[in-house]
Amino acid sequence: MTDVLAGLVAIAPALVLTLTGFALMALDLLPPRGRREHLGFVGLAGVVAALVTTVLLWGSDVSAFRGMVVLDNFALFFNLATGLVLLLSMDYLRRRGQESGEFYILVLFSAVGMVIMASANDLIVIFLGLETMSLSLYVLAGFFRSRIEAGEASMKYFLLGAFASGFFVYGIALIYGATGSTNLDKLGVAVAAGAGRDPLLLIGFGLLVVGFGFKISSVPFHMWTADVYEGAPTSVTALIATGSKAAAFAAFLRLLLASLRPVQADWAVLLWGMAVLSMTVGNVIALAQQNLKRMLAFSSIAHVGYILVGIVAGGALGNGGVLFYLLVYTFTTAGAFGVILLLERGGEEAVRIEDTAGLANRHPLLGLALTIFLLSLIGIPPTAGFVGKFYLFGAAVRSGYYWLAVIGVLNSAIAAYYYLRVIVSMYMREPEGTPTSVVPSFAGALALVVALWGVVQLGLLPAPLFDLAQSAVLPLLR
């Protein structure tokens, strides 16, 4: 009975989301058939219940299913569910004529996969969480079936994702062949005992890096990102940009700290190169983009590079900075996509930079909100983005990676150009032709308020949450 109870506690947040998903499946069969907005509220209630469960279990250290799943502060820190996405989707789906119960169900099950990945202490469980999340996102990316771009985005995401999953599974097979285990702690013991020089094991871990590199969209595994971001529904794009990357980084970071810390000097060199390439390629290509969603797609690749800086730096400061920055990035990016989602021009989504012309003059509050989100993405004080980058680059300097920090700062300066270009368009240009309108949405406005609060709060008072982030990674550093 004790083992059963421990197992239920270990998967409690994922279990809450799963039960909510099943409840949505049952409710979807019941009237009213015309509208499905109430399913969004039920899903949101499940998300809140999962967050409450996460808070109540903070400080727990439970291992279950023979060490395959762990519930520690690190796992709980990543149980950031998809409440913002659900709020942004309610009016958006109805406006696009695509309101369907399946959408909310898929969002919930993608969140289940994210939570499983954050709690996984075994490569097999990581893969199960990865596929649970990915299969839902493949369908969500093409949810607007009448749009050719949506079908293209879904197909590209699926084909490249399946290809990356193949690398991941093959890597697991090689690692199991070399060590006889897929448990992260046992792999760490084997690596410390000298197995880290085994060619079979090295190739296996290399293949895992390919799989994770695709999910976090780091260079050179980023080719799918812009097309998927542009073609997917905007609220789904926000979910892919925030939740899926946070979950992938959670599993990746646990793998590196639990299994590969004895050979950190070796993989740090690899991640150093990936960080520099991601920052530079993402920012340089973003300069040429005229579509806001594509611009934010390449921007997200650059931000992956910033996060990799913290992983390379290591220690409580660097890894804690990674967790803190992921939360900051979630609030900021969800907010930016939320603003775009509320804009329309000529009955279509206003997703080009010229569509923002004069927006701040006609809708000052929305213009101010987008300005704050963009300034946070640049890293301008006193926004949360500045604090997050300060922690990451400070950790790099403290660990002796001076050039990595310098490259990060220079890339932030490059990024300022394309972010400020949008701000200039909002405040200093007048629209040509039909001006962009803002679609009223109470749920969407509530999501923006929450995102704004996160950006401002973490910018002005970052210390409490950063201390929690550091305490979350400390068990993995012992």
Chain segment 200-229, per-residue pLDDT in tens = 888 999 999 999 999 999 988 888 888 999
How much of the chain exceeds pLDDT 90, in percent? 36
By the 8 A CB rule, do 44 and 111 touch?
no
Instruction: Write the Ramachandran bin of 314: left for phi over 0, alpha for psi from -120 to 50, otherwise beta.
Output: left
Lowest mean pLDDT among 31-45, 126-140, 277-291, 422-436: 31-45
Tally the residues of the chain: 478
pLDDT, mean over the chain: 87
Q: Which are the contacts of 348, defined by CB distance < 8 A and separation ≥ 6?
A: none
The per-residue pLDDT for range 264-312, each reduced to its tens digit, is 888 889 999 999 999 999 999 999 988 999 999 999 999 999 999 999 9
The CA distance from 204 to 171, in Å, is 4
The per-residue pLDDT for range 77-113, each reduced to its tens digit, is 655 657 788 888 888 888 877 777 788 899 999 999 9
Residue 1: per-residue pLDDT: 47
In the predicted structure, residue 394 carries a pLDDT above the cut 90 = yes
Give CA angle at 41 (36, 47), nearest 5°.
Answer: 130
64's enclosing H/E stretch is strand 62-64
437's enclosing H/E stretch is strand 437-438
Q: Token pair of 248, please?
A: 């992938």
Nearest CA-CA partner of 441 in 244, 235, 241, 242: 235
Instruction: Kindly report each contact of residues 426-430 with a partner whose C-beta sits within 8 Å and lies 24 or more positions away, as own/partner.
Output: 426/356, 426/357, 426/358, 426/359, 426/360, 426/367, 426/370, 426/371, 427/360, 427/361, 427/367, 429/357, 429/358, 430/357, 430/358
The CA distance from 262 to 376, in Å, is 35
